[in-house]
Structure 1
Amino acid sequence: MALINPHINFNGNAEEAFNFYKAAFGGEFSNVVRFKDMQNSELPLAENEVNNIMHIALPIGANTLMGNDIPEFMGKVDENENRSKISVSAESKDEADKLFTVLSAGGSVEMPIGDSPWGSYFGMFRDKFGIEWMIEYAG
C-alpha cells in the first residue's frame, strides 16, 4: 500500500522552515538536495538561487514531511493560499503508473511520470478538483 506524505512549497526559505520543523519534531533530514546539485541548461536559475532547496525530507514517524523552494522563473507561491502537494510513495512502478493515470484523469499534468534526474520514478499533476499530487517510486 502506498504512503501519503505532505509536501510544502516555499519562496526561498525552505531550509529555515525545515530547521524549525526539525527542532519541533526531532530527527535528522533523510535527504537534502540543492538546486546547484541538479543544475543544467533546462533549469535556468538565478545565481542567488543555486543554494536553495530543490528537495528536503524530514521523517516523522512512518511518514515524511517534504518540501522545496520554488525557483523565481516559476513564480512565487501565495503563502496565504494552497502551497502544498500530496506526495504519494508507491511500492512499485506499476502502482505509481496506476495512481498517476487514475488520479490525473481530467486534470492537468505538470510533469509526466518517468525517470527523474534525482534517480526516482516521478510525476506531478493537478487533479480535476484542483488538488496537486506528486507520485514517486524510489525503487
Structure 2
Amino acid sequence: MSAQTTTVAAPQAMPQAGSSLMQVSGALAVIILLILLAGWLAKRFGFSAKSGLSKEVKLRSSVSLGTRERIVVVEVEDARLVLGVTASQITHLHTLPPAPAEMAATPTPPAAEFQNLMKNLLSRNGKR
C-alpha cells in the first residue's frame, strides 16, 4: 500500500458582518469629524464670509417699501445717509446731519420697558 497524503483545506473564516459595519461606521465618523473641524478652522481663522457691517458703517433703521425695495438710514463717520435699496441698485436719496447725542444713545431694552409698564399697571390697580 502506498501512503497517500491527503490535504484537507482549512475552512476560510467568514468575515463577520458586525466588524465590517463597525469599520464603515468608524470611517464615516472620522470623515464627519474632519469636515466639522475644517469648518471650525475656516470660521476661526476668517476664511468664511464676513457677516454684518463694519464698525464704521452702522445701520440705524430700515423700512420695507415692497417685496424687494427698502429705505435705510446708514450712519457713516459724521453723517447719516438715507439710501434707497432695490434688488439691482442702491441709490443715495439724502444726507442727514450727525445724530444728536441723546438720539445716538442706546435705547432702553424692551425687557426693561415691559418691566416698568407692568409695575405701573399693578400700582394703578392697587395690587401692589
TM-score, scaled to structure 2: 0.25
For the pair shown, the structure with the greater C-alpha radius of gyration is 2
Q: Which has the higher contact order (CA 8 A, sep 6+)?
A: 1
TM-score, scaled to structure 1: 0.23
Higher strand share: 1
